[in-house]
Chain A
């Protein structure tokens, strides 16, 4: 089974995944990413400022970007 890596990038921090996770296919990797983002989103809890955001990038063993999930706060004031 292919190995996928899930890297979180916040405003001032990067949590890169060194170990990765073996999953069935791209679809399974996407599901893993969405579930983890759903769990992690609570960490923004009151701290997020307009202009800030975070993203999760899913890459394969060759380092190729497969998916990017973005959460952005924008102000139009």
Chain B
């Protein structure tokens, strides 16, 4: 992994704040290193900290009663986890898992609430981020219902590679199975097929993308849709600040 130091301003929400607003938060932000696989919240947990990633990727996973899970949204340096805790005491409905080594700014929820109460802009940020999560969740709900495991595997891999800023993504088949909501056996079969086709190199928990073009072809359209929506939302929020 690259060990380039990161700071709060690597997070796009924090760097997008006017200086005065940012300086209200800055004294309360602590930079933390989150290891791959760590669980920040389980469903029902009180969101006692809010996280603004500088790098890496956090997954919001819906967990069924029998333990099966599926990823419904991801958050990277463009976003925040737990923003609703800025408005009120908030319990998580999802499991938040660290998907790859992630650096983030962490702030205690009660501190965050105190600051948000003094700033309309921060209050808007907390509310508006819900639209980002909702727009992602709509696409992912449709994708999970309509697209094959293979297409979703490729969609997911492109997203992860973007977030890792690398063609290599480290993860276990069990973990990938949980993200895609399928059995490990299906992940193995799809991974092996893509490996044999020369699209990826898949060995022992590390996936390396060899042919990005082919990967895009096999992937469903949802990767592009998510990118376009994310860009559009960022443009809109930038415009609203002018």
* Known contacts A13-B196, A15-B196; A36 and B148 CB within 8 A of each other: no
Contact, CB under 8 Å: B189 / A42: no
Interface majority SS on A: helix, strand, loop or mixed?
mixed
Q: Mark A24-37, 1 if CB is under 8 A from B, else 0.
A: 00000000110110
> Residues of A contacting B192 with CB < 8 Å?
8, 15-18
Q: How many residues of chain B have a CB within 8 Å of chain A?
A: 17
* Known contacts A13-B196, A15-B196; A6 and B189 CB within 8 A of each other: yes
Q: How many residues of chain A have a CB within 8 Å of chain B?
A: 19
Scan residues 122-170 of chain B and give those whose CB is less than 8 A from a CB of chain A: 147-150
A34 to B: closest C-beta gap in Å? 10
A41 to B: closest C-beta gap in Å? 9
Scan residues 17-61 of chain A and give those whose CB is less than 8 A from a CB of chain B: 17-19, 21, 32-33, 35-36, 39-40, 42-43, 45
> Residues of B contacting A6 with CB < 8 Å?
185, 188-189
16 cross-chain CB contacts under 8 A: A6-B189, A8-B189, A15-B190, A15-B192, A17-B185, A17-B189, A17-B192, A35-B185, A36-B182, A36-B189, A39-B149, A39-B183, A40-B189, A42-B147, A42-B148, A43-B150
